[in-house]
């Protein structure tokens, strides 16, 4: 069957279009693979091999999440000469704060670490700060809140008013007590109090050891109150009033770190960004001029995990008036 010239020309155009799309698809795949490789290298500390200072931010509620702990391990494997641990946290769970403190201490075995308190390092946030070799805070920063708390809502009176009874069968009187659905028994309250006081003694012991305080000095700071940076310097809760400039100067002066090193931010990765997907695709989108799509992908990739709090807390927040 004869094929006219127009049909042949149309087929050639379709063939060229298909070839172009195949080339673009292969190119996009290559860019994505390169992005994944770069992301993997970045997470392993291989990129940015030049000497630098690492900046790690500890903000919000502390839970001891795996991503933050892995991030500190990455910094430990990197070529960073020193670490700026920037803290802005009211605290969090006691076990989470303990895990974070221990991770910072392991990091400090390999690299000098300075905690820089911006607005707040209270309770579990202060536990994290004590993991550093030195603590620097601004005059008006808030530090302290050395104590432990256990809270749960008790809705037993509300249930009585609406006529709801929770029937419970326990193996022993203290199993799942206090529950919040019935008045707390003296025995349950005593058990929880013992748990809180034990964790409080652990917290106090850490403050005593890390800050080198005697009994009188410890008693003056360990009643749960918070202090300004200006107050904290006199109470030996911090080492210096200042910010990052003072922290870097100490690293250069006391740890013989080269002057003028660049500061590199190390950030947590989550979701697709943990594997470099969102960063790679966002890079392609930005290269193609799709800035708004790239911004959206980067925001989605950087979303933090949902946080949940349970059990003993080392956390501080201002009391709110009714």
Which residue is catalytic, options 17, 19, 175, 185? 175
Nearest CA among 119, 127, 99, 128 for reference residue 317: 119
Q: How many helices (H) and strands (E) does the chain have?
A: 11, 9
Q: Quick check: is 175 catalytic?
A: yes
CA–CA separation, 177 vs 182, rounded Å?
A: 9
3-class DSSP state of 171? coil
Tokens representing 35 are 């992005």
Query: What is the CA 148 to chain-centroid distance, rounded?
Result: 20
**Contact criterion met (CB below 8 Å) for 276 and 35:** yes
**Contact criterion met (CB below 8 Å) for 70 and 99:** no
CA–CA separation, 287 vs 12, rounded Å?
A: 30
Instruction: Report DSSP state, residue 149.
Output: B
Strand 263-266 relative to strand 113-122, pairing: unpaired
Ramachandran angles phi, psi of 50, nearest 5°? -70, 155
Which residue is catalytic, options 123, 141, 156, 278? 123
Which residues have CB under 8 Å from 72's CB, separation 6+?
A: 56, 103, 104, 106, 107
C-alpha pair distances (Å), 106 with each of 55, 64, 72, 153, 170? 16, 15, 9, 37, 43
Burial of 229 (0-12, 13-18, 19+ CB in 10 A): buried
Instruction: Report DSSP state, residue 83.
Output: E
Tell me the catalytic residues.
Answer: 123, 175
């Amino acid at each position: 069957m004869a094929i006219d010239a127009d049909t042949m020309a149309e087929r050639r155009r379709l063939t060229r279009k298909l070839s172009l799309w195949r080339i673009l698809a292969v190119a996009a795949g290559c860019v994505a693979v390169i992005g994944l490789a770069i992301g993997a290298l970045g997470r392993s500390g291989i990129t940015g091999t030049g000497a630098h200072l690492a900046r790690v931010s500890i903000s919000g509620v502390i839970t001891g999440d795996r991503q933050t702990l892995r991030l500190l391990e990455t910094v430990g494997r990197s070529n960073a000469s020193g670490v700026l641990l920037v803290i802005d946290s009211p605290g969090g769970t006691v076990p989470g704060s303990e895990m974070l403190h221990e991770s910072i201490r392991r990091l400090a075995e390999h690299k000098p670490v300075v905690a820089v308190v911006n607005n707040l390092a209270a309770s579990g946030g202060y536990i994290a700060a004590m993991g550093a070799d030195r603590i620097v805070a601004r005059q008006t920063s808030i530090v302290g809140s050395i104590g432990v708390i256990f809270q749960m809502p008790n809705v037993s009176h509300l249930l009585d008013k609406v006529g709801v009874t929770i029937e419970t069968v326990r193996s022993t009187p203290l199993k799942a007590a206090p529950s919040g659905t019935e008045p707390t028994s003296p025995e349950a309250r005593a058990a929880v109090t013992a748990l809180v006081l034990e964790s409080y003694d652990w917290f106090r012991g850490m403050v005593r050891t890390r800050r080198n305080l005697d009994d009188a000095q410890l008693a003056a700071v360990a009643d749960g109150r918070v202090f300004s940076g200006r107050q904290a310097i006199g109470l030996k809760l911090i080492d210096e009033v200042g910010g990052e400039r003072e922290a870097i100067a100490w690293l250069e002066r006391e740890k013989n770190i080269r002057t003028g090193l660049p500061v590199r931010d190390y950030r947590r990765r989550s979701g697709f960004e943990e594997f470099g997907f969102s960063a790679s695709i966002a890079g392609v989108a930005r290269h193609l001029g799709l800035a708004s799509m790239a911004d959206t992908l980067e925001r989605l990739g950087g979303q933090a995990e949902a946080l949940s709090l349970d059990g003993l807390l080392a956390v501080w927040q201002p009391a709110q008036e009714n």
